[in-house]
């Protein structure tokens, strides 16, 4: 089996993991101040973060984009509109002390 096929299989397997399995890692990354929510419905690195946290950002954002696309098709809305609306909900749901990106790009704790 080629490296490319292995990588594809690994990625497919990762996508099958329920979001709740990622939530613990995401919550830990948020609690440690490594990642925060953006107004565009995605997460981003807040400051210096370990490589695991950065990979988590990429994985979570890819999964979110996949879901936003599905909702976009069902609701007949552009993906960026769906993502932005979800970003608003994620801001509301953020726990005290979690980082939220401000319109000017800076980060502030809720």
pLDDT tens, position by position, 57-94: 999 999 999 999 999 999 999 999 999 999 999 999 99
| Residue 50: per-residue pLDDT | 86
| Residue 4: per-residue pLDDT | 52
At 10-36, the pLDDT tens digits run 444 454 444 444 444 898 999 999 999
| Residue 62: per-residue pLDDT | 97
| Residue 52: per-residue pLDDT | 87
The tokens of 96 are what? 């005290």
Q: How far apart are the first and last CA of the chain?
A: 48
| Residue 76: per-residue pLDDT | 94
| Residue 21: per-residue pLDDT | 47
């Amino acid at each position: 089996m080629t490296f490319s096929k292995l990588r594809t299989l690994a990625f497919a397997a990762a996508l099958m993991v329920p979001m709740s399995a990622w939530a613990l890692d995401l919550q830990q990354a948020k609690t440690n101040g490594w990642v925060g929510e953006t107004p565009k419905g995605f997460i981003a690195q807040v400051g210096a973060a370990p490589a695991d946290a950065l990979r988590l950002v990429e994985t979570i954002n890819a999964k979110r984009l996949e879901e936003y696309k599905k909702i976009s098709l069902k609701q007949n809305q552009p993906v960026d509109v769906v993502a932005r609306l979800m970003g608003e909900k994620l801001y509301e749901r953020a726990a005290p002390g979690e980082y939220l990106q401000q319109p000017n790009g800076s980060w502030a704790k809720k």
